[in-house]
Structure 1
Amino acid sequence: MSRHQRDALDAMLRSAPRSETPPTVEEQRSGFAAAVARPAPEGVATRRTVLGGRPTLELEPAEAHGRGRLLYLHGGGYVIGSPDTHAGLVGELARRAGLRTMSVDYRLAPEHPFPAAVDDGLAAYRELLAAGTDPRDLVVAGDSAGGGLSIATLLAAREAGLPQPAAVVLFSPWVDLTLAGDSIRSKDGADPIFTEADVRAYADLYVGAGDRAHPLASPLFADLTGLPPLLVQVGANEVLLDDAVRLAGRAAADDVDVTLDVSPGLPHVFQHHYGRLDEADAALDRAARFLTTHLTAAPLEPTH
């Protein structure tokens, strides 16, 4: 892997201008879209549809195989981001895994605070099952806040008596809105994107005066028993590093099959930089392999 690529990415991220006054939510949304958005890769067809009552971007690779389906929940602190900002990243994961994918435009804060996003994630998951998708043919993935939302969605599904999917992949998940992880402070400066204040501002907009330790807002504090096999990928240069590490530990304590994949010297959701960062491509390949392996491994008949 290229040290030069990592250094160039770090320098590029640190060069982004920071305003003297806090940007408005609309400014944050447009700035994020300008900085992150990449089109779906060649060979991945897109179309707009609706899932669980929310606008959804469907991404279908030309090489899609079998009945497997991927439900994706994008990141952005529950405040910014959309299926369009994540079309490149999600399309790359879909292409590498050969999976037809649904990327949901769940409602954002502050217009729609917690638990609106969880309600939308659950509605999308429920509709996929109701439409006849076998849970053994279904996998879930998400990044950052979308990673936390992926776990919250499956916890809500468990409470509703719905079956779990075959596997889950999380990129740099945000799962502790109380910001209790040591890395929130110890990685300040190493992280080229976020400070503690940045992350706290998103929590303020999403939860407000509510309970930030609620298991559906901060799945780190949930009982994860019964969740499917889980792959957690994170960069070592993240203030959210400990969210990923502690989530993996909690999952293991609750007897969940979990793999923690930490990449040194890399920032938050470094997978966005596929095609220009070798580690991003390798991580997406590992994520795709994890998903397809668990789809392939799902038993054809219920065990007794």
Structure 2
Amino acid sequence: MAHTLTWHDDVSRQAKFLSCAARLTLKPTFSLWPLTDGGIKAIGQLDRAIDRLPKPKRVTIEQVTLGGVPCEKTTHPRLAAGSLAGAMVLYFHGGGFVFCGLATHRSACATIAARAGIPVYSVEYRQIPYGGIGTSIADAMASYRMALEVAEDPSKIIVAGDSAGGYLAMKVAEISVLEGLTPPAAVLGFSPLLNLDLRSHPRRFMKKDAYLPMKQVLALEDRWLSGPDAIPGAASPIDADPSVFPPVFLSTAQYELMRPDVEAMTRKLADAGRTVETHVWKGQVHAFPVMAGALPEGRTLLRLAVDFAARNL
């Protein structure tokens, strides 16, 4: 099966400003930030700071739990028709299993809810220093199992996420099949982490990432794999059996840490006859759809992702 990989050359003024600002401020800051428990907890204050900002308009946001895991449910007055009727999205935020949370990803979840007309549940899974990746997966699966019970149509659950959250979305799809659960209807991955072995990537390419310093990402590897909970199935989604995955939508920026694996995963899924659609965008930063409220390219990509889900449900 031929895969669909689309390049996007348009770069807005907002995107150019964001890329420049990230290189000048975020990347130097992340390069020097201590990855001790104290340093990680301090950077976790980002979500609390953003939580004080005004909430997205024209949506309703409720605090709920799924399987004992805190979540935010975002709904829009418009209800989906057609294939999306009865569907829901389970969204896993990114942040390298270290920072970000419900507040940092409200804009993206609100955009998806408004575009699709279906509820979006954003999952606040545990991160370092409260557990390794295995702990994050345990929370992701707990939320998914409960989603199967509360969903209007359990066969229409879409799992989505960016960066580390994209990893969790792919793992939920894999593990649900291994456990004999109803699998997700689709996976939407925005700059997803698909390979825990980032050392295999070309360093010259990796240095072009707008704000993720390779040194700090590599320093997290040991902490990712520590903790009380093991990683079920394949450690890296790119090493999983491609036949377990439902239709998959992927995106990546031209220069970022995740692009080599996004393209490799695209080929692997296509070669296995799976449905996959991938978008590569010039001039963007890692996980740019998260900033859909400020970036026209982010809004466009989320629209493409929702339309992909609608075609494949």
With normalisation by structure 2, the TM-score equals 0.85
Give me the whole-angstrom Cα distance separating, in 2, the residues matched to 1:161 and 1:90: 28
In the TM superposition, 1:157-168 aligns within 5 A as 157-168=176-187
Higher RCO (CA-CA < 8 Å; seq separation 6+): 2
1:196 paired residue number: 214
Give me the whole-angstrom Cα distance separating, in 2, the residues matched to 1:56 and 1:293: 27
In the TM superposition, 1:1-304 aligns within 5 A as 1-16=10-25, 18-19=28-29, 20=32, 22=34, 24-31=39-46, 34=49, 40-65=55-80, 66-131=85-150, 133-183=152-202, 185-208=203-226, 215-295=233-313
Deviation at 1:225, TM superposition (A): 0.8
Deviation at 1:3, TM superposition (A): 4.8
Encode CA deviations 1:61-102: one digit per residue, 9 max, x unaligned: 111333111111111111212122211111112211111111
Aligned length: 294
1:177–1:213 Cα contact (<8 Å) kept: no
Higher helix share: 2
1:74–1:143 Cα contact (<8 Å) kept: yes
Deviation at 1:243, TM superposition (A): 2.1
Instruction: Indicate the SS of the match to 1:289.
Output: helix
Deviation at 1:34, TM superposition (A): 4.9
Give me the whole-angstrom Cα distance separating, in 2, the residues matched to 1:3 and 1:47: 33
1:156–1:216 Cα contact (<8 Å) kept: no
Identity of aligned residues (%): 29
Note closer, same or farther for the CA distance 1:218–1:278 as it changes in structure 2 (3 Å cut).
same
Runs (4+) of structure 1 moved beyond 6 Å?
Answer: 35-38
2:233–2:240 Cα contact (<8 Å) kept: yes
Note closer, same or farther for the CA distance 1:274–1:149 as it changes in structure 2 (3 Å cut).
same
Give me the whole-angstrom Cα distance separating, in 2, the residues matched to 1:36 and 1:274: 17
Give me the whole-angstrom Cα distance separating, in 2, the residues matched to 1:195 and 1:87: 25
Deviation at 1:233, TM superposition (A): 0.8
**Residue ranges of structure 2 left out of the alignment (5+ in a row):** 1-9
Note closer, same or farther for the CA distance 1:197–1:161 as it changes in structure 2 (3 Å cut).
same
1:44–1:62 Cα contact (<8 Å) kept: yes
2:173–2:187 Cα contact (<8 Å) kept: no
Deviation at 1:147, TM superposition (A): 0.2
Note closer, same or farther for the CA distance 1:251–1:34 as it changes in structure 2 (3 Å cut).
farther
Q: Which of 191-200 and 69-78 deviates more?
A: 191-200
**Residue ranges of structure 1 left out of the alignment (5+ in a row):** 296-304
Give me the whole-angstrom Cα distance separating, in 2, the residues matched to 1:125 and 1:149: 11
- RMSD over aligned CA atoms reads 2.6
Which residue type is aligned with residue 231 of structure 1?
F
1:13–1:193 Cα contact (<8 Å) kept: yes
2:4 paired residue number: none
Which residue type is aligned with residue 278 of structure 1?
P
Instruction: Indicate the SS of the match to 1:233.
Output: strand
